[in-house]
Chain A
Amino acid sequence: MVLESAPPMPADSVLPPVVINTTNLTKIFGNRLIAVNGVNLQVRKGWSFGLLGPNGAGKTTLLKLLLGLQLPTAGRAELFGKPVGPNSADLRRRVGYLPTNPKLPPMMTPITYLDLIGQLHGMTAEERKPRLAALIRAVDLLPAAARPIKGFSTGMTTRLGIAASLMNDPDLLLWDEPTAGLDPAGRKYTLDLIRELARTKTVVVSSHILSDIDRVCDYLGILHEGKLIYCGSVRHLKQTIGRNVVEFELDGSERALDALSRKLQEMPEVAGFRREGGLLELRFVPTERIAAPLARILMAAADLDIDVTSISSTRGQTEDAFIRILEMDEADGFNRAYNTSPTMGNGMDSPTPS
């Protein structure tokens, strides 16, 4: 499915290096479930990349394939230019993984667990002791530092998981649903932390919560039924794939409102509209610029002595674009069999993040 042609890509020499690269990555569980379906994905150094999809879309499986925790049925996954497998300990040394609601050794304490993680990453005692102390303090677990993990709440476990993923000061963070099960304060803390970390690291965050991705990611991949159906910048998604719908609440006579409706039918920029009393839902043809037609509509309303009580636009809302992407994918029907690459969403239109 290609909604519109992708803009020319800059030469590879000016792009940051590829950190994650998958080619036709496919995972089928026991000939029963297709979890990941021919995913071709590239994530470059410095990106904060959101992996978006409904529950069961294959986000967690994709991350586990990238870590070598699961073996691909077909295709391949590379990290930092090298293929990943179950024994790719050297590659995982550069990765910080946070699973959804992490399951951590219940008998260990934050200190002993982080110490073990440090040892697995080959850190010396001189390196890991101060590091674990700083991380425990940073995730606000100092009072529970010597308590067994089995008594921890979801929030505490997630915070410890965050500390574990940062223990080795990784180049790449793979965080799977980091805000799952957190209270509003914990969620805000985590999202702020992701934004902070994204300044210096490549971050991949999976989530089914659109607003979380919207807040912290510059780039986005949408997974649907195991297939990557969109990959590109968040800005592009909002601007070009949304429905361009504007809602008005109008105050005027029925005759004036009918007159306005007639004018709208004559406007080429208006793809369609629906009016119920004073409520008007207006859909523009897909375009990036709606300011001029919008101004003409407002002028027409003023000429007809119609006042505008409120005006709201779903244009630029990720949620709307996301739902539309899913609908378009499903509407594609059997043609999906021939779509081997995701919709390219102008992936390079933003400057490389700092």
Chain B
Amino acid sequence: MGWTALLRADLLVLSRSWVLKGWIIVLILTGLVSVGGPLAAARSIPVPASGILATQLDAFLMIWSTVIIVLAAGSVSMETEIIADSILSRSCTRTQYIGAKLLSRMMVIEAVYLIYAATVAYVAWRYAANDMTLATITLGVGIVGLAVLLLSALGVAMSTLVNSTIFAVIGLLLLWYVASPIFTFAGADYLSPASLVRNLPRILKDANAPQIVEAAAEPTSIRVTFSKDVDAATAEQIANYTIEGSTDHRYTPQTAVYDKAKTAVVLGGLNLPPGERVTVTVRGVTDRAGNEISPAADMARTTVRADGNAPPTQAAGAPSPLGRRTTATAPRITQCTAVGGSLRVTFSAAMNRKDVEDPTHYIVECPPGTVRAAKFATWNADSHSVLLSGLDLPSGEQVKVTVRDVRDAAGTPVPKSGSWAVYSEVTPWKYLLGFGIPTLGACALAVLWFSRRDL
């Protein structure tokens, strides 16, 4: 009962705080300008939604963090005498008091952030060129929300450590803004707000490449269903589709019409003999975020049905509607991981050792567009992987590796266009831990320190 009374009392104090009221007003006004401007421009030039949202979330980490620090760092130090005289001399424990203080500050600051972030995310999703998914929005907003929580908890902890509010604010500002390069230097980039700002666009942007999940052929058309919504402009490009019959005969569609609701494209104007087994290969189709169709699942085979009801298809390497994956005929890269200055490339099958140990068969781009040559390639038969070493990979950059002209142990080559994979150091769960664990630590520090200090 005492704990909730303290919580309510601090919420009442916050509700009357001019710092909080002023912040909300300024936040709304700047939000209208900084979100409205790009949206107005988006009528003529497509503006990615992830960019708009990332900019607004960055502001919480780099600009509004000052207000958050003031709100949190003044929580105890501003009223040390008051809490001794009027609260803690009564029937109330230190833990109850600081627990209520932590919760109220974190709740209010987080509520302001979440309401603002959710509003911006909806507006960007609705009116800008959407390149995000609900999952990426949740992840991005969640990680920044965790950073905001960390800042709030650090603020309260700092205000228990330092009697002067000014020193508490200055100390935390230094910690927040100056620590980033130190964390980066120490290899703990996931504790750094600046690193989060740098990587936020990539976290928000949908990085999953679309895949073919189904193809169904009739004598005059083929319906190709994608795993997700794709860009209609690329999906309706006839040149992006290759249809081959069983005798290597090529069929050319006359039309390509994309159905957004079914995430499927219907290739029309065909003349396919019933019973013919055809292979549809898709190239150049991208999703809204610009991810090109995955080479691992850009091909599907199906048989032309005479009655118009196409039989189930096999999408090479793609998940079937029942969640099973069919075996890809061509080997491909399944994973790519940077290990120090080296790159580990994992294949879907046992490979021909001579082929894969030739470093010239690999194109390593870091960042994408800048080619770096590997000096050595070492095959590991147990893990079906090759370690590319002798690379000079800059830290924090995205790495793309493409392999060509290699065969698996059975002699099946990778697709002519090659097989590629991307490794990005942006691993959101590291940020979740990087900001989550220190938040718990800051709360524990506030409770422990406050329980042992004189008032």
Q: How far is the CA of A242 from the CA of B87 in the complex (A)?
A: 42
B354 at the A interface (CB under 8 A): no
Contact with A along B416-455 (1 / 0, CB 8 A): 0000000000000000000000000000000000011011
Q: Give a binary string over B86-112; 1 marks a CB under 8 Å from any A CB, 0 the rest.
A: 111111111110000000000000000
Please report the C-alpha to C-alpha distance between residue A69 and residue B446 in the assembled complex, in whole angstroms: 17
**Which one of B79, B89, B92, B452 contacts A71 once the chains associate, using CB atoms below 8 Å?**
B452
Is A97 a contact of B16 with CB atoms below 8 Å? no
- Judging by beta carbons under 8 Å apart, are B85 and A104 in contact? yes
Question: Which B-chain residue is minimally distant from A164 (CB atoms)?
Answer: B86
Distance A38 CA – B236 CA, assembled complex (angstroms): 90
A97 vs B93: C-alpha distance when bound (angstroms): 15
Question: Could you give, for residues 1-31 of chain B, a 1 whenever the CB lies within 8 Å of some chain A CB and a 0 otherwise?
Answer: 1100110010011001000000000000000
Bound Cα distance from A89 to B3, whole angstroms: 12
A105 touches B9 (CB 8 A): yes
Instruction: Report Cα–Cα, A100/B455, bound state, in Å.
Output: 14
Q: CB distance A103 to B85 under 8 Å?
A: yes
**Is the Cβ of B85 less than 8 Å from the Cβ of A99?**
yes
B91 touches A99 (CB 8 A): no
Question: Among the listed A29, A69, A119, A122, which residue makes an inter-chain contact with B89, where contact means beta carbons less than 8 Å apart?
Answer: A69
B81–chain A nearest beta-carbon distance, Å:
4
> Shortest CB–CB separation between residue A66 and chain B, in angstroms?
10
Question: Is A119 touching B451 in the complex (CB atoms < 8 A)?
Answer: no
Q: Does A346 contact B (CB under 8 A)?
A: no
User: Which chain B positions have C-beta within 8 A of A102?
Assistant: 85-86
**B82 sits at the interface (CB 8 A):** yes
Interface size, chain B (Cβ < 8 Å): 28
What is the bound-complex CA distance between A113 and B9, given in angstroms? 9
A112 and B8 alpha carbons, distance in the complex (Å): 11
Q: Answer yes or no: B371 CB below 8 A from chain A CBs.
A: no
Query: Is B91 in contact with A90, judged by CB distance below 8 angstroms?
Result: yes
CB of B84 closer than 8 Å to a CB of A: yes
B323: min CB distance to chain A, Å: 54
Of residues 54 to 87 in A, which have CB atoms within 8 Å of B's CB atoms?
Answer: 64, 67, 69-71, 86-87
The answer to whether B451 and A120 have CB atoms under 8 Å apart is: no
Bound complex: CA A93 to CA B90 (Å): 6
Q: Does A116 contact B (CB under 8 A)?
A: yes
Question: In the docked arrangement, what's the CA distance between A106 and B84, Å?
Answer: 14
Q: Is A298 an interface residue (CB 8 A)?
A: no
Interface contact B91-A113, CB-CB below 8 Å:
no
From known contacts A64-B84, A103-B86, A105-B13, infer whether A70 and B454 are also in contact, taking CB-CB under 8 Å: yes
Could you list 29 examples of A-B contacts with CB < 8 Å? Answer: A64-B84, A64-B455, A71-B452, A71-B454, A86-B88, A86-B94, A87-B93, A92-B90, A97-B89, A97-B90, A99-B89, A102-B85, A103-B81, A103-B84, A103-B86, A104-B82, A105-B13, A105-B79, A112-B12, A113-B86, A116-B5, A117-B86, A117-B90, A119-B1, A120-B5, A120-B90, A120-B92, A122-B2, A164-B86
Residues of A within 8 A of B (CB): 29, 64, 67, 69-71, 86-87, 89-90, 92-93, 95, 97, 99, 102-108, 112-113, 116-117, 119-122, 161, 164, 168
- List 18 additional A-B contacts (Cβ < 8 Å) besides A119-B5, A122-B1: A69-B88, A86-B451, A89-B92, A92-B90, A93-B91, A95-B89, A99-B84, A103-B84, A104-B86, A105-B86, A106-B82, A107-B16, A117-B90, A119-B1, A120-B2, A120-B87, A120-B90, A121-B91
